[in-house]
Amino acid sequence: MLKSIKIIGMGGQGIIKISLILAESIFEKGLNVVQTQTYGAEVRRGVVSADVTYETQKDTEIYDLNVDFFDYFLIMAKNGFEKYKSIINNYSTIIFSDSFSIPINELNLKSCIKYAIPDSDVISQLKFRSSLNMCYLGALAKICPDLDIDILKNIITRESSNKYLDDNLESFQIGLDIIKKYNS
């Protein structure tokens, strides 16, 4: 079965980084996966999105990259949410910042599963604000049965510089621990 994840944020938030980590983790499970990304001319502060599309069965090919439905959305920036809100549907699961929960409610998606990340609480526990993206990755790993937490931790360890490694792993763990269903 084809599954898809859309990660939305602003340049500088590590959107592409976590999409590459996700894709690599799925590939390491032996599944076929495709990662794509889009961003504007402004690398910093412009809207960035990345898609990770994969097959849940081994040896199943991906023939079409036109994804009309996303199973999961990670939304780290309000302006990214505004740009992509029209493609969120009742069957999606959304992980988003609690700082913009009001626009999420405006979508009137009764069946959509929503999780809020308390960004300011998480950031206060981290040495580097830039590690917040790993919290969203941890939250996704907690709720998406196709992801392997140990594989993700190994990739984060391999791909993080020494300066950010402890913070990235701590933020990932916070995401695993903090995820709570949002009551709309």
Could you list the mean pLDDT of each consecutive 10-residue stretch along the chain, which spans 184 residues?
93 92 97 90 77 92 85 92 88 88 71 87 88 94 96 97 94 88 48
Give a yes or no: residue 155 inside a domain: no
pLDDT of 42 reads 57
Q: Is residue 145 part of a domain?
A: no
3-state DSSP helix/strand/coil % of the chain, to nearest 5: 45, 20, 35
Is the residue at 49 inside a domain? Answer: yes
Q: What is the model's pTM?
A: 0.91
* 14 part of a folded domain: yes
Tokens found for residue 37: 């990304």
Per-residue pLDDT of 89-137, as tens digits, reads 888 999 988 887 666 777 777 788 888 888 888 889 888 888 999 999 9
Q: What does the pLDDT read at residue 112? A: 85
In 10 A of CB 73, how many CB atoms? 25
Q: Residue 113: inside a domain, yes or no? A: yes
Number of domains in the chain: 1
pLDDT of residue 30: 94
Question: Which residues are bridge partners to 44 per DSSP?
Answer: none
What CA–CA distances, in Å, run from 55 to 5, 118, 137, 145? 12, 31, 19, 13
- Does 65 reside within a domain? yes
How much is the pLDDT for 99?
82
The C-alpha atoms of residue 116 and residue 24 are separated, in whole angstroms, by: 26
Provide the pLDDT for residue 180.
62
For 114, the domain range is: 2-128
DSSP letter assigned to residue 71: S
Question: Would 23 be classed as within a structural domain?
Answer: yes
Q: Decide if 41 is inside a domain.
A: yes
CATH number of the CATH domain containing 112: 3.40.920.10
